[in-house]
């Protein structure tokens, strides 16, 4: 069963980077462009892990995370928070609301893989076999 990851970020660029990071792994990537969409996709897809941006329009990451924690079916879903801010206050706030880990932008793809692999299993895709 592929690992299902939900990426929620208002930047299509970041969602593409996250999707690309897992291209060698047996993963299914779902997307949301804000917290409201993210909650809807999470309820439908029941991801194994959520990678969640903090600052987004419509509904921000902190609000989405709070609502996730209120949902009995989703509250146990591990969350990695993505933030552009490395300041102490921001990191403390993120830690207080109960995320499994966080990643500060800018980030390298292998750093994201490293953090995700500590939380959910990541299995590399079998290499394609060419037939003569």
Partner 1 sequence: MQTINTIDIQEVVTAHLLQLLDTMFSIKAVPLGKSVPEAEPERVSGSVGFGGEAVAGVVYIHLSARFAALLAAGMLGTDPQSLSEAEVNDVVGELANILSGGLKSWLCDASFSCAASTPVVIRGSSFAIESSPGVERLCLEFSSGVNRFWVEVHFKFQ
Q: Which is nearer to partner 1, 87 or 121 (CB)?
A: 87
Q: What are phi and psi of 96, to 5 degrees?
A: -65, -30
Count of residues touching partner 1 (by CB under 8 A): 23
94 binds partner 1 (CB under 8 A): no
89 binds partner 1 (CB under 8 A): yes
Question: Which one of the spans 44-52, 64-72, 88-96, 119-127 is the region binding partner 1 (CB under 8 A)?
Answer: 88-96
∠44-126-24 over CA atoms, to 5°? 60
Q: Which is nearer to partner 1, 10 or 48 (CB)?
A: 10
Q: Which residues in 14-73 contact partner 1 (CB under 8 A)?
A: 14, 16-17, 20, 55-57
Q: Buried b / exposed e across 35-50, counting CB within 10 Å, b at 16+?
A: bbbbbebbeeeebbbb
Which residues in this chain contact partner 1 in the complex, by CB under 8 A? 10-14, 16-17, 20, 55-57, 83-90, 105-108
């Amino acid at each position: 069963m592929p690992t299902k990851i939900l990426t929620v970020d208002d930047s299509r660029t970041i969602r593409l980077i996250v999707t690309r990071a897992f291209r060698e792994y047996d993963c299914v990537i779902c997307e949301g462009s804000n917290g409201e969409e993210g909650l809807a996709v999470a309820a439908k897809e029941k991801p194994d892990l959520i990678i969640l941006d903090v600052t987004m329009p419509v509904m921000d990451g902190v609000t989405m995370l709070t609502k996730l924690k209120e949902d009995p079916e989703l509250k146990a879903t591990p969350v990695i928070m993505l933030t552009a801010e490395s300041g102490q206050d921001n990191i403390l706030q993120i830690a207080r609301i109960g995320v499994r880990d966080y990643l500060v932008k800018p980030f390298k793809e292998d750093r994201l893989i490293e953090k995700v692999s500590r939380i959910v299993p990541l299995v590399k895709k079998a290499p394609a076999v060419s037939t003569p």
